[in-house]
Amino acid sequence: MSPGAFMLLRAICQQIATVGNIEVGDEYDVDDKDMKALIIDALFRAVQKGNVDFIVEILRYRPRIAQLKNNEGMTLFHEAIRCRKDKIFQLINDFDIPTGPAVGDYRDRKTNNNALHLVAELPPVQRRNHISGAAALQLRKEIVWFRKVQAILPPLHQQAKNMDNKTPRMLFNDSHKELFKEGEEWMKQTAEACMVVATLVASVMLSATLALPGATKSDSGISIFIDRYNFNTFVMTNLISLLFSSSSLIAFLSIYITRFAEQDFLVILPWILCIGLLFLYISIASMIANFMSTILMVLRHEMKWVMIPPACLAILPIAILSMRQLPALFQMMLSTYSLGIFTQQKKRLNI
């Protein structure tokens, strides 16, 4: 947020602090109904846009303003759930604001859904596209959302039924049925493609192991390059590439034959996918390093200028792979294991 916008927000908050009672309940209604409607509209728009700074500054001056409800009977807490704004959800959940009754008493007038039904519904596509990893990781975050909200609500909400006679769990399974299928298909396609690459790398490295570069000594059958320092590099990179490509192959194979249950999408599948991709990247990088060590070992004394183009070309794929794949892999790991709604760091308002 820019300094000018922050100063304007601070002035608005100071003005709100001078208003009468802005609380929940008829006996606490603010005198100016238009002012209250504007405040509620601004707060809900901030939640929809994910403007954490705005919410923090407002709550710093009037913490109990989080209990205000819109025309649908929803608080900021419910809107954060519906819009899947994990930072705002955790912010309100961590603050010492008594929002329990307001959250638990919510009932949709048309569908009779409670707060847990609200998180059980599948959000629109535009609210899920910010998660990397396509359908599988989107589904994982939906599962995390449902379990997190379920943990903070009384057990009675889990058995409550809406107008369609569905509990929150039944609604979650029905609304996410297609996402489960898409996640399973995406996982299988990714695992299948990576298995092909891992198999090719393992085949190349196994062939290089069985056919060492150069001739062999007639008396011992050992390679003539064994005394050169590049030979150790060749052996190490060959073993690393072969072992990691084989390990990634096993990892992707285990993805392909899993049950694809809810618990699998939550823990096992993302972990195996990240490990498999990381091992595959290491095996490819080791394979290129193995190629370079072979070139340097064979052409160390003869035609030195010939080694320059292959050296440059060998570095190029490693650089491209690092720039294109590593950020995506790290982002996938962050979206898998560092979700904002699992943040345990408690925040407190300085009132």
Q: Give tens-digit pLDDT for 191-215.
A: 998 899 999 999 988 888 777 666 5
pTM: 0.76
Provide the residue range defining the domain that includes 244.
Answer: 181-340
What digits encode the pLDDT tens for the residues 114-156?
Answer: 888 888 988 877 666 555 557 888 888 889 889 888 888 888 8
Task: Say whether pLDDT at 218 is over 60.
Answer: no
Residue 35 Cα distances to 22, 42, 57, 333, angstroms: 10, 11, 18, 44
CB 127 within 8 A of CB 82: no
What digits encode the pLDDT tens for the residues 44-58?
Answer: 888 888 888 888 888
- Whether residues 17 and 153 fall in one domain: yes
Task: Say whether pLDDT at 250 is over 90.
Answer: yes
- Whether residues 211 and 318 fall in one domain: yes
- Whether residues 193 and 102 fall in one domain: no
Nearest to 291 by CA among 216, 225, 205, 214: 205
User: Does some domain include residue 275?
Assistant: yes
Task: Say whether pLDDT at 266 is over 90.
Answer: no
Average pLDDT, the chain: 77
CATH number at residue 91: 1.25.40.20
Domain count, the chain: 2
The enclosing H or E element of 347 equals none
